[in-house]
């Protein structure tokens, strides 16, 4: 049993969270009892009892045969409440709208969570739709403009990066620390991150860390299809996004002054 912050971990609670995270990570691929029990190292009888408890409470759903399991609607409600109660997301939303209107491109707001970035708000371009840019999407921080903008705010020796071989989402994704470190140096020099088809083929991104925290945990970005990214449009994107970053940073302290300082 692990010890966290001087408090002993509650094994049943940890197992419940691990199960929900596993189901959520599978997306539209439901799981069978045996798969879940094997992956979490839990006896099938215990896993079945846990699943039934969570089904009764809406956190897990099952099919008509009772043999397939997926994440339930209560997870959506909890996630929606997280977004609605977060003062920084609320503060950023109108500025994301302004950036989207000014540029005609997709704008994101994301937060660093361990070694990943999680999308908390998105304004889609009217020119093209990206079903993979949904709120709640998680990407490795090394694989895109949002993550690189946030990693560049941190000490090189303490970056939250995987130990083993890195997953390459496209042929342009960084595959090792040396390649990423050279890129992060350029990010610090110019003040924002550029992603040229590193996270998604055919898409370029421009990421800007929001420095109301030190180091920054939130960032915004603009994504655009490479097929219509000209030098002039790129300069326009950088100019607008720098302005939007400044306005969000200026507005956030007042908006969050009376809010809890979550950790």
pLDDT in tens, 211-225: 999 899 999 999 999
**pLDDT at 162 exceeding the cut of 90:** no
Output the pLDDT for position 259: 53
CATH topology of domain 3-76: Arc Repressor Mutant, subunit A (1.10.10)
Residues listed for the chain: 263
CATH topology of domain 86-256: Beta-Lactamase (3.30.450)
Residue extents of the structural domains in the chain = 3-76, 86-256
Output the pLDDT for position 255: 43
Output the pLDDT for position 256: 44
Which whole number is the average pLDDT over 190-201?
95
Output the pLDDT for position 190: 96
By CB neighbour count within 10 A (0-12 exposed, 13-18 middle, 19+ buried), where does 117 fall? buried
Helix locations, the chain, DSSP H = 11-25, 33-40, 44-56, 73-85, 87-103, 145-151, 177-190, 231-256
Which whole number is the average pLDDT over 129-148?
80
- Which of 10-14, 79-83, 170-174 has the highest average model confidence (pLDDT)? 170-174
Banded pLDDT at 169 (limits 50, 70, 90): very high
**pLDDT at 87 exceeding the cut of 70:** yes
Q: Which of 51-65, 129-143, 179-193, 195-209 has the lowest mean pLDDT?
A: 129-143
Percent of the chain with pLDDT over 70: 90
Calculate the average pLDDT of the chain.
Answer: 88
């Amino acid at each position: 049993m692990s010890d966290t912050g001087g408090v002993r971990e509650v094994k049943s609670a940890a197992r419940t969270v691990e199960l929900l995270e596993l189901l959520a990570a599978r997306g539209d691929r439901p799981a069978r009892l045996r798969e879940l029990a094997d992956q979490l190292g839990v006896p099938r009888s215990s896993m079945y009892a846990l699943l039934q408890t969570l089904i009764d409470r809406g956190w897990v759903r099952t099919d008509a045969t009772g043999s397939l399991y997926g994440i339930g609607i209560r997870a959506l409600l909890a996630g929606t409440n997280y977004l609605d109660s977060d003062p920084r997301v609320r503060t950023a939303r109108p500025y994301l709208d302004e950036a989207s209107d000014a540029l005609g491109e997709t704008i994101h707001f994301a937060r660093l969570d361990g070694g990943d970035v999680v999308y908390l708000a998105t304004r889609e371009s009217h020119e093209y739709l990206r079903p993979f840019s949904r709120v709640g999407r998680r990407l490795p921080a090394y694989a895109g403009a949002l993550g690189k903008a946030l990693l560049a705010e941190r000490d090189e020796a303490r970056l939250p990066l995987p130990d083993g071989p890195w997953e390459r989402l496209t042929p342009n994704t960084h595959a090792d620390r040396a390649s990423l470190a050279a890129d992060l140096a350029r990010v610090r020099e110019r003040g924002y991150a550029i992603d040229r088809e590193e996270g998604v083929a055919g898409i370029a991104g421009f990421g800007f860390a929001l420095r109301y925290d030190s180091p920054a945990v939130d960032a915004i970005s603009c994504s655009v299809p490479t097929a219509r990214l000209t030098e002039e449009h790129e300069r326009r994107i950088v100019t607008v996004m720098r302005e939007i970053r400044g306005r969000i940073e200026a507005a956030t302290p007042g908006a969050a002054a009376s809010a809890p300082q979550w950790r």
